[in-house]
Amino acid sequence: MNLDFSPKSLGELDLYFEKSGEKGNEESIDFVKKLGAYLTQVVTKKTGGVWSFPEDEDIPSIRIGGVFLTPLARVLKVLNEGEKLGQWYRVVTDTIPRLQARRPD
C-alpha cells in the first residue's frame, strides 16, 4: 500500500479495511487521530481547506469555505460501520465546490 496522500491511497485503505473484515473493534485513539489526520491532508491538498477547531466544538474539523467537515467522525464510521474513505473524498471534492459556486456573493 502506497500512502502518498493521493485520492487513490484512500481507495487502497478502503480495500485494506474491507479485506480485514473487522468492524466495530475498539481502535486506539492514536490510530483514529492518525487516520483522521491523513484523510484531512488528502482532502486539504485538493480543496485548499484548513484545519479548524471552533470553540463550541469538541473535535477539530476541516473548513472549506463556509463548510465544516469532521474527518475524525468519518474515520470512526469507516472503522465501525464499513463506510468508505474514497467515496467520502469524492463527495467532498465534487459537491462542496459546486455548492460554493452557486452561493450568491
Give me the tens of pLDDT residue by residue for the chain, a chain 105 residues long: 899 999 999 999 999 988 887 665 566 888 888 999 999 999 999 988 888 887 877 888 998 888 889 999 999 999 889 899 999 999 999 888 776 666 655
Q: Which amino acid is at 40?
A: T
Cβ atoms of 89 and 7 closer than 8 Å: yes
DSSP label at residue 103: S
The domain spans of the chain are: 7-102
Q: What is the pTM of this model?
A: 0.83
Q: Which long-range contacts (CB under 8 A, 24 or more apart) does 46-51 make?
A: 46/7, 46/89, 46/93, 47/92, 47/93, 47/96, 47/97
